[in-house]
Amino acid sequence: MIKIYHNPRCQKSREGLHILEQSGKEFEVIKYLEDVPSKEELRKVLDCLGITPEMLVRKNEAIWKENYRGKLLSQEEILDAMILHPKLIERPIVVNGGKAVIGRPPKLVEDIL
């Protein structure tokens, strides 16, 4: 089943969700700020995306700038930071089977359908 890691307050995430709704396909919405993914779930998403944890971080967030920027962090520490502060996770992320995209721009969501 298709999954979207969604933040309702984010315009790009809302646009990605709209694309999924228009597709007519079944999908699951995961509001990741409320239902924080586990470290293992994040690893699976990263595998589907084919990227490192650091590439999934929203580096312009104040939380990142104040607590993590400029520090030498392991991949595990970056995963821990995203779990502790899920706001740091890029959005939206759409997973379909073994593939995933970050919907920035939202039009990329179409590529995975």
Structural domain spans, the chain: 2-112
Architecture per CATH, domain 2-112, reads as 3-Layer(aba) Sandwich (3.40)
How high is the pLDDT of residue 34?
96
Active site annotation includes 10: yes
How high is the pLDDT of residue 75?
96
pLDDT in tens, 63-97: 999 999 999 999 999 999 999 999 999 999 999 99
pTM: 0.94
Catalytic-role residue among 2, 4, 10, 48: 10
What letter represents residue 47's amino acid? D
Give the pLDDT band (50/70/90) at residue 108.
very high
pLDDT in tens, 2-51: 999 999 999 999 999 999 999 999 999 999 999 999 999 999 999 999 99
How high is the pLDDT of residue 23?
97
Tell me how far CA of residue 99 lies from CA of 44, 47, 50, 105, in angstroms: 10, 8, 9, 17
